[in-house]
Amino acid sequence: MMAMRQRLKHQILLWGLSFILSTSVLLGLPIVAHAQFSQKTSSTQTASLSASEAFRAAYENRYTWNKRFPGYSAEVLLKYQGKLKQGIVRVKPDLSVDVLNIDNQDVRELIANQLRMEVIHRRRVAFEKLHGQNRFELEGTDDSGALKIQEEGDGMDSHYKVKDKVITQVNRQLGDVAVTVDTLDTAQTPEGYLVSHFQTAFRNPQTGEILEKQDVRDSHKNIGKYYLLTDRTIRSGKEGNPEEKLAADTLIRFNNIQLLRFPNDMVSPV
């Protein structure tokens, strides 16, 4: 029991770090004035414009909720290392998250962190507000043809890969942990793409040592004109590829999803 609790706290720490990094890129950090880069040559400025346009096209191609998002409630089932927990979650119209009817604080925090990360990626924020005053540099392509792009001015040594209007890789550093997120599969909607399979690697930025790897698969369902998370499976490990594990370490399932309010142009929940 003690080992399981320590492992749970470890996962909360890692997922909390992922949440902080997601928040910083999608809700914004203090940004550096564009003027400090103004001494670049005109050829570099042209390359930066191309990198900026490519990253912006992919950023704006993500599926996000609109301003009319009504919020929703759902039953949640968490399976973690053979243990089952059930409760209620609520995502409010202001995108705050509540986890109810679960007495274990660590479990509540685990579920809340996962939902907050989902909410952050569904939040619609203008590109100019977050990235408009930063500079983007094109650093070539990888073997798949994806553009390698560096963002200067966000304070986190951010590097990306972009291909076919999809952000296929994010690299970012926060303190003594570097994080790489690789998008392995997506689901298309009429309003942009949803990431359905991704892998996260946590590293020591000085030595490159892998601290943890996670393989995550998501399923979404269209309910009342909004795509909402219904299933998330997480496989974790330090060595090898967690995707190859036969069973997931963590399964989160959301059932009986109900929108909190229904504008006139919205159908009833499914």
Per-residue pLDDT, averaged over 249-256, amounts to 95
224 assigned to some structural domain: yes
Q: What is the pLDDT of residues 67-84, one digit of tens each?
A: 999 999 999 999 987 889
Tell me the average pLDDT of the chain.
81
103 assigned to some structural domain: yes
> Where in the sequence is the domain holding 144, given as residue range(s)?
2-27+42-259
How large a percentage of the chain has pLDDT more than 90?
53
pLDDT range class, residue 47, cuts 50, 70, 90: low
267 assigned to some structural domain: no
265 assigned to some structural domain: no
How far apart CA 19 and CA 11 sit, in angstroms, is 12
Higher-pLDDT residue of 151, 186: 186
270 assigned to some structural domain: no
Radius of gyration over alpha carbons of the chain, in Å? 19
pLDDT value at residue 139: 93
Give me the number of domains the chain comprises. Answer: 1
155 assigned to some structural domain: yes
269 assigned to some structural domain: no
**pTM score, whole prediction:** 0.80
Q: How many CB atoms lie within 10 A of CB 99?
A: 21
32 assigned to some structural domain: no
pLDDT range class, residue 240, cuts 50, 70, 90: confident
